[in-house]
Amino acid sequence: MLINDNNQEITTIQIKKIVNAKNIECESEDGQLVKLHLTKDQKSDPLFWWSLVKIYTAQLWIPIMKNTQTLLNFDWLSDVATN
């Protein structure tokens, strides 16, 4: 099941610049500047950083929680039982 587009808590961003773990500049679909916030585990995970750089290089759009500006734990697809 796809996440409902009417869900106001989720938005998509595109990474524009990775300065360091505390400064990842992104742009939302509506053109707003967004600073991506990472967890402690994400900041120290080399595989996460490799993936993030690949996402940045490919200029992919990724989902985030609008209110916390953090990455989703469940990606674009969600199991009906978790909703």
SS (H, E, C) 6-22: CCCCEEEEEEEEEEECC
pLDDT at 17: 96
Regarding pTM above 0.95, the answer is no
**Total domains, the chain:** 1
Higher-confidence residue of 16 and 79: namely 16
* pLDDT tens sequence across 18-75: 999 999 999 999 999 999 999 999 999 999 999 999 999 999 999 999 889 998 877 6
Rounded CA gap, 27 and 43, in Å?
Answer: 20
Relative to beta strand 70-71, strand 23-28 is unpaired
CATH number of the domain that 62 lies in?
2.40.50
Q: How far is CA 7 from CA 11, 14, 66, in A?
A: 9, 19, 10
pLDDT at 8: 62
In a domain, 80, yes or no: no
Boundaries of domain holding 42: 10-75
In a domain, 23, yes or no: yes
Kindly indicate the confidence band of residue 1, based on its pLDDT and cuts at 50, 70 and 90.
very low
